Structure 1
Amino acid sequence: MAFRWRSFALAMLIGLLSFADGARAAAPQVPVLWDAKERLPKPDLSTLPRLRFLTTTDFPPFNFLDGAGKLSGFHIDLARAICAELGIVEKCQIQALPWAELEGALRKGEGEAIIAGIAATPESRATYAFSRSYLQFPARFIMPKGKALTEPIFDKLHGKRVGVISGSAHERMLRDYFNTVQVVPFDRPEDAAGCCRFAGGPYLAPEYLGSGMAIATKADNPALAAAIDYALQEISMKGTFAEFYLRYFPVSFF
């Protein structure tokens, strides 16, 4: 099974939530990954019999069972919005399966798309066609509350001690991009609990942090992935994505 964004995203989210009471941006920032000047063609899906999204129940806040046992989450709302933009609400279904069964279910035709955090890598692209990324996870600096640090911060960090999760992509990025700091590796995101606020802006580095979250279809169905791209762009341009993002990530990591 392909590498899952879950392992990276959960580590990031645990760290984010552990200091959520103290970490605040000046105002909520919503990532915009689409060029407003680019207009994707609206697909004709009149011959599509159905669009079944496959997901899991164990990846909050993206997909999970709420207190009433109802499938909920960022991905669930996003899948429904995609179907609405494509004009196929009546053909749209969302089914939850164990993570290990997703690839086989798609291969056997038990679904048309997976929205569960499969990472788009050179290896996974041999199995899947992917939509464009709809969400990326940036690197952020945090610092003790009551102190301020604004961009550009490279020179301001010269010789400073900077903590980072040991062995992570963030550690590699920190050592390569900020080679004048004193790197202090630590084992648990929770070690920053309650201490901090965001400092400076987000750093997007696909070469370290990956290309972001995307929706997977069968490798021989790039047309469906392209149709999903159209819907994702419309969702972003109309502000629907921002509504979902702020609903599930009230402490923005951007």
Structure 2
Amino acid sequence: MKLLKSATLAAAMFALALGAATAQDATKVRIGTEGAYPPFNFLDSAGQLQGFDVEIAKALCDEMKVECEFVTQDWDGIIPALLAGKFDAIIASMSINEERKKSVDFTGKYYNTPPAVAVPKDSTVAGVSPEDLKGLNVGAQGSTTHSTWAEKVLTDSTVKLYPTADEYKLDLENGRLDAVVDDVVVLSDWIKSDAGKCCKIVGTITPVMEIHGEGAGIALRKEDTELKEKFNAAIQAIRANGKYEEINKKYFDFDVYGG
């Protein structure tokens, strides 16, 4: 039995490696994204993927002269799906940090924006420190740097985790949460919408490097070094030729690439 299991495992690993190599050599790159994190990635009323992540991915594929094929994937399973060969790269506002580097490799950043805290408009919360949020119910999307920060830092708060950002927004809107933590751009985009008129941002959080990392990057399997190099070169190219700025201006009034 042990030999059979080992042989089966070896065959599966070989098939997986072969599939990854084939995808890397092809003229098509499969991009995994969540599709539920506006304005970075989301499904429009026609069910089409839109957002900053999506347009950046398309620009990078154009630069690399390959076709992009998008695959939507729930956030909690996005890294396992990459490792299983469901797609070749994750472009989904994934922060580069040491914990994730244990499983996957990353390109350099393609944007870097700080986290923030939002509360109901009538809230008396005036800051983002653990003392400001003490005793409160604080929501965040699970398996994110924001949920990690909340669980590690807000030890005197009740931290509630949600599968998607939409679900914590609904609970904040309906009074089931006192505050939420997420990217400042995501929260800013939401409070400008009809659903988000209930709420306000009280401040940004100073990023903690070991938690938040150095920005959002493209995640790849560790063995796909050639694809990583192509993506890194393409990121620098669209920064230099103006394509990044063109996409940036469609969504933001500041350069989200960061310092």
Q: Same fold (TM over 0.5)?
A: yes
Identity %: 27
**Structure 1 pair 252–164 and aligned structure 2 pair: CA distance change class (3 A):** farther
Query: Does 1:214 pair with 2:217?
Result: yes
Contact 1:53–1:111 (8 Å) recurs in 2 = yes
Contact 2:127–2:202 (8 Å) recurs in 1 = no
Q: CA deviation at 1:206?
A: 4.3
Query: Does 1:123 pair with 2:99?
Result: yes
**Structure 1 pair 139–57 and aligned structure 2 pair: CA distance change class (3 A):** closer
Counterparts of 2:56 and 2:36 in 1: how far apart (Å)?
17
How many pairs are equivalent?
A: 168
Query: Does 1:59 pair with 2:37?
Result: yes
Map of 2:250 onto structure 1: 247
Contact 2:96–2:212 (8 Å) recurs in 1 = no
Counterparts of 2:202 and 2:214 in 1: how far apart (Å)?
30
Map of 2:80 onto structure 1: 104
User: Unaligned stretches of 5+ in structure 1?
Assistant: 1-44, 141-162, 173-185, 197-202
TM-score (norm 2): 0.54
**Structure 1 pair 110–49 and aligned structure 2 pair: CA distance change class (3 A):** farther
Contact 2:97–2:211 (8 Å) recurs in 1 = no
Counterparts of 1:96 and 1:80 in 2: how far apart (Å)?
15
| C-alpha RMSD over aligned residues | 3.6
Residues 87-138 of structure 1: per-residue CA shift (max 9 Å, x gap)? 113xx21111211232222122121101112222222112111000111115
Map of 1:160 onto structure 2: none
Q: CA deviation at 1:67?
A: 2.2
After TM superposition, list the pairs within 5 Å mapping 1:88-103 onto structure 2. Answer: 88-89=66-67, 92-103=68-79
Contact 1:82–1:235 (8 Å) recurs in 2 = yes
Indicate which of 74, 80, 98 corresponds to 2:52: 74
Query: Does 1:164 pair with 2:127?
Result: yes
Contact 2:107–2:231 (8 Å) recurs in 1 = yes
Contact 2:105–2:219 (8 Å) recurs in 1 = yes
Counterparts of 2:236 and 2:246 in 1: how far apart (Å)?
14
Counterparts of 2:24 and 2:214 in 1: how far apart (Å)?
31
Q: Which amino acid aligns with 1:166?
A: S
- Structure 1 range deviating more: 124-133 or 208-217: 208-217
Residues 51-96 of structure 1: per-residue CA shift (max 9 Å, x gap)? 100001111001101122211110111111111000113xx21111
SS at match of 1:51: strand
Higher relative contact order (CA 8 A, sep 6+): 1
**Structure 1 pair 205–122 and aligned structure 2 pair: CA distance change class (3 A):** closer
Counterparts of 2:245 and 2:33 in 1: how far apart (Å)?
22
Counterparts of 2:212 and 2:99 in 1: how far apart (Å)?
16
Q: Which amino acid aligns with 1:247?
A: K
Contact 1:130–1:222 (8 Å) recurs in 2 = no
Counterparts of 2:78 and 2:201 in 1: how far apart (Å)?
37
Query: Does 1:47 pair with 2:25?
Result: yes
**Structure 1 pair 193–220 and aligned structure 2 pair: CA distance change class (3 A):** same
SS at match of 2:77: helix
Structure having the higher strand fraction is: 2
Structure having the higher helix fraction is: 2
